Amino acid sequence: QQQVKQSPQSLIVQKGGISIINCAYENTAFDYFPWYQQFPGKGPALLIAIRPDVSEKKEGRFTISFNKSAKQFSLHIMDSQPGDSATYFCAASKGGGGSNYKLTFGKGTLLTVNP
Amino acid sequence: DGGITQSPKYLFRKEGQNVTLSCEQNLNHDAMYWYRQDPGQGLRLIYYSQIVNDFQKGDIAEGYSVSREKKESFPLTVTSAQKNPTAFYLCASRAAGIASGNTIYFGEGSWLTVV
């Protein structure tokens, strides 16, 4: 049972273009949706996160769009740069930081930005 | 520097051997996690611990064991019962409590290969 489904598996974008990665979740109890960025051989690092009380959150060139009714959220990378080439993971959690708090991850999207 | 230190970075295991991956954090975080990463599979939770001397199984705990004798340490043992241990292993931590937020921080990972 895959609780967070991520697509596409891989994405190639030209420099300056928009990269869009989508995720869908099943558990309506999820209340925190982060995106992580991972470079080869490194651990993932938090990029941006959103809670379901807002429909969009923007930080620099990175934007999360959230659709609660559709149980979907997406990451948009504007003006994509070669340095953005990495694997991106969406995730979801519930519990607000309680004793059983844990993140469930999507399978990841390998983004390549061509110069 | 504050952070999560995993060691060794690369480890080779012979068939039938147990090996232990070290994870130390100096962030004063209460919660610690072990994830396994395989190509195209995302991050899957092995074990997690919210407090010292307590831990819970994640989604793929079979063939693994952990201990949490100190707040800053959460070693993972990959036993001979784990039939397919070759993977990238990630340790993570989080400050407990709703007020601390939900951010999970990752270490740099350890590569385990069966030879």
Within 13 Å of residue A12, how many CA atoms lie on the same side as its CB? Answer: 2
- Predicted confidence at residue B98, as pLDDT, reads 58
For residue A49, list chain B residues with Cβ-Cβ distance below 8 A.
102-103
- Predicted confidence at residue B9, as pLDDT, reads 95
Amino acid at B55: F
* Percentage of the residues of chain A whose pLDDT score is greater than 90: 77
Q: For the residues A35-40, what does the mean pLDDT come to?
A: 96
- In tens, the pLDDT along B76-95 reads 999 988 889 999 999 999 87
Residue B99 to residue A12: CA distance in whole angstroms = 39
- Three-state SS sequence of B61-89: CCCEEECCCECCECCEEECCCCCCCCEEE
Residue owning tokens 């063939």: B63
Average pLDDT, chain A: 92
Closest CA to A95 of A31, A34, A50, A49: A31
Closest CA to A90 of A50, A36, A27: A36
Residue A51 to residue A46: CA distance in whole angstroms = 14
Closest CA to B75 of B113, B18, B16: B18
Indicate if the pLDDT at residue B64 is higher than 70: yes
The answer to whether residues A101 and A1 touch, using CB atoms and an 8 Å cutoff, is no
Residue owning tokens 């092995």: B46
Question: Cβ neighbours of residue A97 under 8 Å, at least 6 residues apart?
Answer: B94, B96, B97, B98, B99, B100, B101, B102
- In tens, the pLDDT along A74-106 reads 999 999 999 999 999 999 988 655 556 788 999
Indicate if the pLDDT at residue A69 is higher than 90: yes
Q: For the residues B17-27, what does the mean pLDDT come to?
A: 95
pLDDT band with cut points at 50, 70 and 90 for residue B16: confident
Is some CB atom of chain A closer than 8 A to the CB atom of B52?
Answer: no
The answer to whether residues A29 and A96 touch, using CB atoms and an 8 Å cutoff, is no
CB contact under 8 A, A46 and B42: no
Q: Give the single-character DSSP code of A93.
A: B
Q: For the residues B17-33, what does the mean pLDDT come to?
A: 94
Indicate if the pLDDT at residue B113 is higher than 90: yes
Indicate if the pLDDT at residue A18 is higher than 70: yes
Cβ pairs A/B, distance under 8 A: 65
Nearest CB among A36, A97, A106 relative to B102 is that of A97
The answer to whether residues B36 and B43 touch, using CB atoms and an 8 Å cutoff, is yes
List residues in chain A touching B: CB distance below 8 A. 6, 9, 32, 34, 36, 41-46, 49, 89, 93, 96-108
Average pLDDT, chain B: 91
The answer to whether residues B23 and B76 touch, using CB atoms and an 8 Å cutoff, is yes
Which is it for strands B76-78 and B64-66: parallel, antiparallel or unpaired? antiparallel
pLDDT band with cut points at 50, 70 and 90 for residue B44: very high
